[in-house]
Amino acid sequence: MQLAQCETTSQFSAPVIREDYRDAMARLAAAVNIITTDGPCGRAGFTATAVCSVTDEPPTLLVCLNRSASAHPIVTANGQLCVNTLAGAQRDLSNLFGGKTPMAERFAAAQWSTGVTGSPLLDGATVSFDCRISHSASVGTHDILYCEVLAVYRRDSADALVYFGRNYHGLPGAV
Ligand SMILES: NC(=O)C1=CN([C@@H]2O[C@H](COP(=O)(O)OP(=O)(O)OC[C@H]3O[C@@H](n4cnc5c(N)ncnc54)[C@H](O)[C@@H]3O)[C@@H](O)[C@H]2O)C=CC1
Ligand SMILES: Cc1cc2nc3c(=O)[nH]c(=O)nc-3n(C[C@H](O)[C@H](O)[C@H](O)COP(=O)(O)O)c2cc1C
């Protein structure tokens, strides 16, 4: 896609430094997800807030994954993953999958079943999207994984876990 050229000089040319960017991003509320994979290259999981809907034809999510994360080589080699969106009571799991804990310990802290791709589905998640990675792009430190959704699993009573201001917040509600 060709972007339109603009002849005027931007008045917003000051560089946004990393810490300013992170402080600003701390003000952007986001759902909390545990991304899991299993397959020929092993099992892995990590916490992610950088998850977004792209299109519903075909149903596609994007997940941004730091290439330095221990899960990166496993997720990309398996080519499939599940986005498990956390419920309010699952904040401890978010910290576990977002830290430097060994993979076996992360998975031992919850109950799982298996989705159509073979990826682990988290018991008690508000919703799980079982996906195959259709393509990816690298930007800076991260890979953007475009994930075609092959199956969804919804819990009947749904509530949400929101990450905002570097803290977790439970969001009760009915959908
Ligand atoms: N997109 C990502 O890779 C994210 C990574 N994290 C990591 O989890 C840890 C705890 O999170 P916070 O206390 O919120 O950390 P923080 O105070 O360093 O970051 C504040 C916000 O900046 C953004 N951010 C942080 N690191 C980022 C990265 N490497 N790439 C893109 N965006 C990033 C996120 O929106 C995050 O909530 C940090 O070490 C952080 O690097 C957290 C949220 C998103
Ligand atoms: C609340 C929260 C949100 C996170 N979001 C992302 C994300 O969207 N993308 C990402 O690559 N890492 C994210 N992380 C960091 C990974 O979860 C973390 O790097 C990984 O689980 C631990 O890395 P390791 O397995 O290499 O030890 C997040 C961490 C936390 C606590």
What pLDDT does residue 14 have? 64
Render the burial of 64-91: b for 16+ CB within 10 Å, e for the rest: bbeeebebbebbbebbbbbbbbbbbebb
Strands (E), 16-56: 30-31, 33-37, 44-48, 51-56
**For residue 28, which ligand has an atom nearest its CA?**
1
What pLDDT does residue 158 have? 79
- Ligand 1 lined by 52 (C-beta under 6 Å): no
What separation in Å is there between the alpha carbon of 22 and the centre of ligand 1? Answer: 7
pLDDT digit string, tens, across residues 58-81: 999 999 999 999 999 999 999 999
Specify the amino acid at residue 99: G
- Ligand 2 lined by 90 (C-beta under 6 Å): no
pLDDT digit string, tens, across residues 39-59: 999 999 999 999 999 999 999
Mean pLDDT of 91-97: 97
- Which structural domains are found in the chain, ordered by start? 29-164 (2.30.110.10)
pTM of the model: 0.94
Closest CA to 37 of 55, 57, 63: 63
Q: What is the largest CA-CA distance in the chain?
A: 57
CA distances from 95 to 18, 47, 49, 163 (A): 23, 8, 12, 11
What pLDDT does residue 1 have? 54
Nearest-atom number in ligand 2 for the CA of 142 is 11
What pLDDT does residue 86 have? 97
- Ligand 2 lined by 107 (C-beta under 6 Å): no
pLDDT digit string, tens, across residues 32-41: 999 999 999 9
- Ligand 1 lined by 152 (C-beta under 6 Å): no
Closest CA to 63 of 28, 23, 33: 33
- Ligand 2 lined by 131 (C-beta under 6 Å): no
Quote the distance between the C-alpha of residue 76 and its chain's center: 14
> Residue 71 has which token pair?
């899960």
